[in-house]
Structures are given as C-alpha cells and as structure tokens.
Structure 1
Amino acid sequence: MVLRVFADNQPVTSIVNAVRALFAEQPVGNDIWIALGWCVGILVVAYAFAMNAYRRKIS
C-alpha cells in the first residue's frame, strides 16, 4: 500500500518534467511546485537525520 502510493507520486517524474520544460522554454505548469515540494521535503528529512546523527556523535 505505502509503496504503491509512493510509486504513484514519486519525485523523479515531476523533477524531470519541470527541468525538461524549463530547458525547452515551455510552460512548466504544476510540475515545478511538485518538484520544489519534493526537494524541500527531502532536504528537511535529510537535515533531521543529519542533526540526529550529529547530536549522538557529540554527546
């Protein structure tokens, strides 16, 4: 179930579509917002894991 939801909404397609449209000077539509949302979400999760590892290391 979780894998199916991720497969239907995975970040690669929206990021590639947005970049392709930007390079081709075509209208991007909603793909840019979805791509940016995924990038920010991945960044937040990675930051949380990195800070958790850093805090454990210095404790």
Structure 2
Amino acid sequence: GDTVNVAARLEQIAKGGEIIIGKQTYRQSQGRFRMQKKGKLRVKNKAEPVMCYEVLR
C-alpha cells in the first residue's frame, strides 16, 4: 500500500546511517524512540511533499 511505497522512497532518500520515517510510522512509534521532525520532503510518485521524521539514537 501507500505506507510501504513511501517507506521505500524514504529509504532511498536517507543518507548512510540515517533512518527517515513518514507520518504514519511516526504516529505508531511515538514515545518509543527519540525522533526529530525533518520537514516535508518530495517523494517520487507523490503529488505533495511528505512530512518526514528522523529517528535519533
């Protein structure tokens, strides 16, 4: 579905060692990890930019 497609695109955007997640994954993971808002990023095959977050260690 859409969540899997967005995750695959974010994986392509991420730099080495970076974990970037979309809003849906962020909502499900809130409180379990330290995360930082990365802002809206353009993702292939999406008309609008996608809100993204970086998972911090």
Fold conserved between structures, TM > 0.5: no
**Greater helix content:** 1
Highest RCO, 1 vs 2 (Cα 8 Å, sep ≥ 6):
2
TM-score (norm 2): 0.30
TM-score (norm 1): 0.30
**Greater strand content:** 2
